[in-house]
């Protein structure tokens, strides 16, 4: 019997649209807010995460679709949906998500918080004392920084900052100059808090808040003396926030980027949000001002920017309404205060964040900055934050005379300003700062230290699946590997040489590198499993990634499934592959996990006739990661650490029956329900790896 033929390349029916799949992920996040087992303030936080995710979705993904339509493009992706057809489908799905989001907020989460003494007080419920305090606050803190702008020929519609809070005011009457304007715009300066806590008072809930929008609505007439305010409506516009550079025209990337950053806040509008009490006339007027269509209008039954409510859990001292705190553990080789260099000369060290601490990475760099034997430090930086202890150690190392080279990715979306600032500080300290290779984002996570030991130089390396950002290591699941392996050190040195210098790409011993060998090696490894299965032997592929979109990789997986390879994919976000389709992918299972921590590590497992090859990677299986970024996948060579990755990164996740969602052939997802003992991967990892023992109630 002949083997089944491979699917035809790029058959549209075999692929799910990226944007629609990404919106399915927002539904899974939203389900956390609906889950009664999740602590109440964390449910509020998940509602805010959905809003933050949708903001970026419009700023980048929807902006890209609109740009294609503007340019007259009819080109469809692998899924076959052209831009003009995709945009209304995206809009309709977002509307459905928002309806569920605000239903949960208004009917479930806010009433439950009120029962716990956390109250967001509406205007109609202010008592006399509260009204007096709020009026005083308005006059002291709000009114002095507001600039109402009446709309007339001398005062055109103002420039509106991306995602800022604004108010459209409908007026009647004549002002002091006899002008008969019927509309004005009031922009809320960013210095004003969007949520204000009222001072404690007898009989008042312990945590009582009012929204800035309510404060302004209650006193807007004081901004327009002698005129009648017919209506006051919140609105917020989202703008295209992506950058496009012509390589031939850019002489200095940092200078060019600094000039573009301010313009990002005033890019083309892509979405208009208004409060649902906004009049049709005002909504239509605002759409005209921003050159948007009715389909771009989103009427919100509440505040127009839920993201700002993300601060509330930090302000409310109610541990019982939040996830239990924990202290990250340390791997056994580091559980005593030992010299890190000595440990790494004996064995590799695997760190699993956030369950295990990121502190060893910080300590390694800190020790290197002060160690006279360390002569050089090389590091890639994608996201690190505005206040980074790692970057401070690099600055100090440069000042101490080390040869410090930092590959700083200026085009890290929404972190450009912080990275420009660090570039300046590092250069002032004497470090070499390079911005990678124009046209390729440097997304690999690499740290290399060169230390003189006796008559030789030894390399110490850290490689990770996540960013060198101490903040996100507390919330993102990631692996990091520290090693003094000579061959891996030589590979990492070669990658740095490619990025900072000139020359042809050379063959690496262990690392797979995008844009050169990563995608070909992934596809080759899948096809190797396919050949093993066709020979009648056991074949298996397991991958844990954040996105699966690259067509050739998907087609290789389809072919492997048809050959009998057992394939399990753990894909957090968008997935273009259709699992479980008879004759195409019946041996492929796709699941997504959403829980307390953001799933972020990328793990690749190939059975390889029993050799069980495992790679950790910085890259998702997307065209951009494979072909337009500098990425790495690195092997876990130590058998003991391989077993850890298989257990902690794969088996626990495949056994999860609490936080796992199973993807259906149509692109939808069904949440798994426990049969027998509940098993949640993140909770099992906390129990195994955190430093403090579980609390017994």
pLDDT (0 to 100) of residue 244: 54
In tens, the pLDDT along 18-61 reads: 999 999 999 999 999 999 999 999 999 999 999 999 999 999 99
244 exposed, middle or buried (CB, 10 Å; 0-12, 13-18, 19+)? exposed
- End-to-end alpha carbon distance in the chain: 62
Both tokens assigned to 607: 């059975």
pLDDT (0 to 100) of residue 338: 77
Rounded distance between C-alpha atoms, residue 272 and residue 300, angstroms: 10
Confidence of residue 132 (pLDDT cuts 50, 70, 90): very high
pLDDT (0 to 100) of residue 654: 98
Instruction: Return the beta strands (E) in 509-575 as ranges.
Output: 512-514, 540-545, 566-571
Q: Are 216 and 193 in contact (CB under 8 A)?
A: no
On the question of pLDDT at 136 being above 60, the answer is yes
Percent of the chain scoring above 70 in pLDDT = 91
Higher pLDDT, 92 or 173: 92
Q: Which of 74-88, 402-416, 515-529 has the highest mean pLDDT?
A: 515-529
- Positive or negative: CA dihedral 556, 557, 563, 567: positive
Rounded distance between C-alpha atoms, residue 694 and residue 157, angstroms: 58
Q: Are 654 and 587 in contact (CB under 8 A)?
A: no
Residue 450, classed as helix, strand or coil, is strand
Rounded distance between C-alpha atoms, residue 386 and residue 409, angstroms: 14
DSSP 8-state secondary structure symbol assigned to residue 112:
H
Q: Are 390 and 423 in contact (CB under 8 A)?
A: no
Higher pLDDT, 561 or 336: 561
Confidence of residue 696 (pLDDT cuts 50, 70, 90): very low
Q: Are 489 and 461 in contact (CB under 8 A)?
A: yes
Cα three-residue angle 547-543-495, rounded to 5 degrees: 80
In tens, the pLDDT along 439-494 reads: 888 999 999 999 999 999 999 999 999 999 888 899 999 999 999 999 999 999 99
Confidence of residue 250 (pLDDT cuts 50, 70, 90): very low
CATH architecture label of 340-507: 2-Layer Sandwich (3.30)
Average pLDDT over residues 510-520: 97
On the question of pLDDT at 135 being above 80, the answer is yes
Spans of all domains in the chain: 14-321, 340-507, 513-689
Average pLDDT over residues 501-530: 94
Average pLDDT over residues 253-280: 74
Asked if the bond preceding 515 is cis, omega within 30° of 0, the reply is yes
pLDDT (0 to 100) of residue 413: 57
Higher pLDDT, 393 or 334: 393
pLDDT (0 to 100) of residue 264: 57
Both tokens assigned to 312: 């509330």
On the question of pLDDT at 356 being above 70, the answer is yes
Average pLDDT over residues 244-258: 48
pLDDT (0 to 100) of residue 439: 82
Closest CA to 518 of 421, 435, 622: 622
Rounded distance between C-alpha atoms, residue 275 and residue 286, angstroms: 12
Average pLDDT over residues 320-324: 97
Average pLDDT over residues 339-355: 95
In tens, the pLDDT along 157-214 reads: 888 989 999 999 999 876 655 556 688 999 999 899 999 999 999 889 999 999 999 9
On the question of pLDDT at 520 being above 60, the answer is yes
DSSP 8-state secondary structure symbol assigned to residue 440:
B
pLDDT (0 to 100) of residue 8: 46
Same fold yes or no, 340-507 and 513-689: yes
On the question of pLDDT at 6 being above 60, the answer is no
Long-range contacts of 81-88 (CB under 8 A, 24+ apart): 81/12, 81/17, 86/17, 86/19, 86/20, 87/62, 87/295, 88/295
pLDDT (0 to 100) of residue 383: 78
Confidence of residue 9 (pLDDT cuts 50, 70, 90): low
Percent of the chain scoring above 90 in pLDDT = 77
- What is the residue-averaged pLDDT of the chain? 91
176: number of Cβ within 10 Å = 8
Q: Which of 443, 462, 469, 607 is catalytic?
A: 443
On the question of pLDDT at 631 being above 90, the answer is yes
In tens, the pLDDT along 293-313 reads: 999 999 999 999 899 999 999
On the question of pLDDT at 251 being above 80, the answer is no
pLDDT (0 to 100) of residue 245: 47
CATH architecture label of 513-689: 2-Layer Sandwich (3.30)
Confidence of residue 415 (pLDDT cuts 50, 70, 90): low
364: Cβ contacts below 8 Å, ≥ 6 apart: 340, 447, 449, 460, 462, 482
pLDDT (0 to 100) of residue 674: 87
Which CATH number does the domain 14-321 belong to among 3.40.50.2300, 3.40.50.1100, 3.30.1840.10, 3.20.20.105?
3.30.1840.10
Confidence of residue 248 (pLDDT cuts 50, 70, 90): very low
Q: Are 160 and 149 in contact (CB under 8 A)?
A: no
Residue 156, classed as helix, strand or coil, is coil
443 is catalytic: yes
């Amino acid at each position: 019997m002949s083997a089944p033929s491979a699917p035809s390349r790029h058959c549209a029916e075999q692929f799910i649209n990226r944007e629609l799949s990404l919106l399915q992920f927002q539904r899974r996040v939203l389900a956390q807010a609906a889950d009664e087992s999740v602590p109440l303030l964390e449910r509020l936080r998940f509602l805010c995460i959905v809003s933050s995710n949708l903001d970026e979705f419009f700023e980048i993904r929807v902006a890209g679709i609109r740009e294609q339509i503007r340019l007259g493009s009819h080109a469809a992706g692998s899924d076959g949906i052209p831009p003009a057809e995709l945009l209304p489908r995206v809009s309709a799905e977002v509307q459905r998500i928002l309806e569920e989001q605000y239903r949960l907020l208004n009917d479930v989460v806010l009433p439950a918080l009120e029962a716990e003494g956390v109250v967001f007080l509406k205007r109609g419920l202010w008592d006399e004392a509260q009204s007096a305090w709020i009026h005083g606050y308005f006059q002291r803190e709000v009114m002095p920084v507001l600039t109402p702008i009446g709309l007339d020929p001398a005062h055109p519609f103002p420039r509106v900052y991306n995602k800022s809070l604004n108010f459209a005011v409908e007026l009647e009457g004549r002002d002091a100059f006899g002008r008969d304007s019927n509309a004005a715009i009031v922009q809320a300066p960013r210095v004003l808090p969007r949520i204000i806590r009222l001072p404690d008072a007898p009989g008042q809930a312990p945590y009582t808040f009012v929204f800035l929008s309510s404060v302004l609505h209650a006193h807007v007439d004081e901004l327009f003396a002698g005129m009648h305010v017919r209506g006051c409506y919140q609105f917020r516009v989202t703008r295209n926030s992506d950058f496009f550079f012509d390589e031939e025209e850019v002489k200095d990337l940092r200078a060019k980027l600094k000039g573009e950053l301010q313009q990002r806040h005033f890019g083309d509008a892509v979405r208009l949000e208004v409060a649902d009490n906004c009049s049709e006339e005002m909504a239509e007027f605002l759409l005209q001002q921003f050159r948007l269509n009715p389909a771009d209008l989103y009427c919100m039954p509440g505040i127009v920017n839920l993201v700002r409510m993300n601060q509330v859990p930090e302000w409310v001292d109610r541990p019982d309404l939040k996830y239990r705190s924990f202290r990250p553990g340390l791997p056994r080789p580091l559980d005593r205060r030992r010299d890190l260099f000595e440990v790494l000369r004996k064995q590799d060290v695997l760190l699993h964040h956030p369950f295990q601490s990121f502190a060893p990475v910080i300590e390694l760099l800190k020790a290197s900055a002060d160690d006279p034997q360390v002569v050089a430090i090389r590091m890639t930086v994608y996201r690190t934050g505005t206040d980074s202890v790692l970057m401070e150690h690099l600055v100090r190392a440069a000042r101490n005379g080390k040869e410090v080279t930092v590959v700083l990715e200026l085009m890290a979306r929404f972190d450009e300003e912080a990275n420009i600032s660090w570039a300046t500080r590092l250069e002032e300290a004497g470090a070499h700062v390079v911005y990678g290779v124009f046209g390729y984002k440097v997304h690999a996570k690499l740290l290399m230290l060169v230390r003189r030991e006796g008559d030789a130089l030894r390399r110490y390396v850290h490689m990770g699946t996540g960013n060198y950002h101490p903040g996100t290591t507390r919330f993102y699941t990631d692996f990091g590997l520290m090693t003094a392996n000579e061959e891996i050190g030589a590979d990492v040195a070669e990658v740095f040489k490619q990025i900072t210098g000139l020359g042809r790409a050379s063959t690496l011993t262990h690392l797979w590198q995008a844009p050169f060998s990563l995608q070909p090696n992934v596809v080759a490894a899948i096809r190797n499993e396919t050949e093993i299965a066709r020979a009648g032997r056991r074949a298996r592929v397991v991958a844990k990634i954040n996105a699966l979109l690259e067509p050739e990789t998907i087609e290789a997986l389809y072919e492997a499934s048809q050959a009998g390879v057992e394939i399990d994919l753990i894909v957090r976000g968008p997935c273009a592959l259709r699992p479980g389709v008879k004759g195409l992918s019946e041996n492929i299972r796709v699941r997504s996990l959403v829980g307390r921590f953001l799933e972020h590590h990328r793990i690749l497992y190939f059975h390889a006739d029993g050799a069980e090859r495992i790679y950790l990677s910085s890259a998702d299986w997307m065209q951009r990661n494979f072909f337009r970024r500098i990425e790495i996948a690195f092997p876990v060579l130590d058998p003991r650490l391989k077993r850890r990755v298989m257990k902690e990164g794969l088996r626990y996740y495949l056994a999860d029956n609490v936080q796992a969602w199973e993807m259906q052939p149509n692109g939808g997802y069904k949440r798994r329900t426990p049969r027998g003992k509940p098993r949640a991967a993140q909770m099992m990892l906390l129990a195994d790896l955190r430093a403090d023992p579980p609390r017994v109630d």
